[in-house]
Chains A and B, each alone.
Chain A
Amino acid sequence: MHCPLQNGEIAEVLLDYCARKLPPAAASEVDRHVQSCSECSAFCSAQGHVWSAMDDWEAPTVSRNFDRELYARIDGFEKKNWLRRLVGERFAWRPALSLGAACTALVLGFMVHGPVMQPLVAPVSVGPQNHETSKADVEAEQVEQALEDLEMLKQLSVSSAQNL
């Protein structure tokens, strides 16, 4: 067997050997090598010391409130999402919101730009319409009159100049 430390690709084999994680056949092969290789033997010894030192590091016991605090947080989360539970877990919010927004936009658009509703009862009196028409006619006559006056003044000024 090649020395694992000389061959970087199989160096991890030594770690597995020290961790007793190699299958029996491979372990006995490494075992034979380690007994004859001072470098690998020193590696295993040092690694054993590291793990032994790490074994002394005990984790603390879990505090009594851990579960209670976790469940309180979960309860808070559940209460916050009561509406979601009400309509079901699989209710798709995004399409529903999009659809709602689209409907609102349509209604608003219709209200602003849609056809004006005509009153159901027709107006009884047509007087104001006639009044408007006659007013427009009067204005046209006045304009025509003014133009004729101007024409007359022009003719008058031309004839008086000829007389002089």
Chain B
Amino acid sequence: MCAAAPQHSGSNRVDIDMVAVAALERDAELMLRVREGDSASFSLLLERHRGPVIHFLFRMVQNQAVAEELAQEVFFRVYRSRASYEPTARFTTWLFRIATHLALNWIRDERHENGNESIEDETGNEGIARQFSDRAPTVEQVMVRRAKLAEVRAAIEALPPKQKAAVLMHKYQEMDYAQIAAILNSSESAVKSLLFRAYETLRSRLAHMA
């Protein structure tokens, strides 16, 4: 399956890298303008990163209301510390470092207070309902899909928090090892090992779905 996967050609990769670099420079530039008091630049940054941050936090805490609350705190902290911003690291690294820190703290506190419970929120069902109206799958297909999704969510939820954060950043945010390492404040080799163990666990837990 993977052996047949198409690889990026050299020129394509260069183009993608240049686009990525331009986006990073744009983020830093916008943040520098925010530092100078330009609120329109803050709105642009919010527009660009609101979705990825909320989605990451949603998958971390598996609750939309909490994810949005934490995301508000992330952007509020960005705004509050705008005066001390220096473009020494990628803006997204800084942003996701704040988000990961808040999510890990929330998970720690939640486990202390309520124990480990799975959260079936209305938004997960909304997605299925939306697809139901578009493609009209059978009730059986919906239920199978819902069951599979619940298993995936439970398998990810059961990972140790740091492994979970690393997997989510690697899979959904498509971050490289260096950036994940910078966000988790660990070495690149430690992140590689963390991801390898996390995926090993997921492979074994989701093996029956293959």
For A21, what are the chain B residues with a Cβ–Cβ distance below 8 Å?
Answer: 176
Q: A34 vs B1: C-alpha distance in the bound complex, in angstroms?
A: 10
A20 and B210 within 8 A (CB): no
- The answer on a CB contact under 8 Å between B68 and A15 is no
Q: How large is the interface on A (under 10, 10 to 19, 20 to 34, 35 or more residues)?
A: 35 or more
Interface stretch among B18-26, B91-99, B135-143, B191-199? B191-199
Known contacts A49-B209, A50-B202, A73-B76; is A15 also within 8 Å of B2 by CB?
no
Q: In angstroms, how far is the closest chain A Cβ from the Cβ of B163?
A: 13
Which A41-95 residues sit within 8 Å CB-CB of chain B? 41, 43-51, 53-54, 56-63, 66-67, 69-70, 73-74, 77, 89
Q: Is the CB of B127 within 8 A of A60?
A: yes
Give the contacts of B124-160 with A (CB-CB under 8 A). Answer: 124, 126-127, 145, 148-149, 151-153, 156
Distance of A77 Cα from B170 Cα, bound (Å): 34
Interchain nearest-CB distance for B144 vs A (Å):
11
B64 interface residue per 8 A CB criterion: yes
**Contact present for A50 and B199 (CB under 8 Å):** yes
Nearest chain B CB to A93's CB is how many angstroms away? 14
Asked if A12 and B2 make an inter-chain contact with CB atoms under 8 angstroms apart, the answer reads: no
If A50-B206, A53-B148, A53-B209 touch, does A69 touch B127 (CB 8 Å cutoff)?
no
| CB-defined contacts of B46 to chain A, threshold 8 Å | 67, 70
Asked if residues B210 and A49 are in contact (CB atoms below 8 Å), the reply is yes
Kindly identify, within residues 98 to 142 of chain B, every residue whose CB is under 8 Å from any CB belonging to chain A. Answer: 121, 123-124, 126-127
Interface residues in chain B, defined as those with a beta carbon under 8 Å from any beta carbon in chain A: 1-3, 5-10, 46, 50-51, 54-55, 58-59, 64, 68, 71-72, 75-76, 79-80, 83, 121, 123-124, 126-127, 145, 148-149, 151-153, 156, 170-172, 176, 192-193, 195-196, 199, 202-203, 206-207, 209-210
Would you list 11 pairs from A and B whose C-beta atoms are within 8 A, ordered by A residue? A19-B170, A22-B7, A24-B9, A35-B3, A47-B2, A54-B156, A56-B145, A59-B54, A66-B50, A73-B76, A74-B76
- A sample of 5 more A-B contacts (CB under 8 A), given A20-B2, A60-B121, is A31-B3, A53-B151, A59-B59, A70-B46, A73-B72
Query: CB within 8 Å of B: which residues of A?
Result: 11-12, 15, 17-22, 24, 27, 31, 34-35, 41, 43-51, 53-54, 56-63, 66-67, 69-70, 73-74, 77, 89
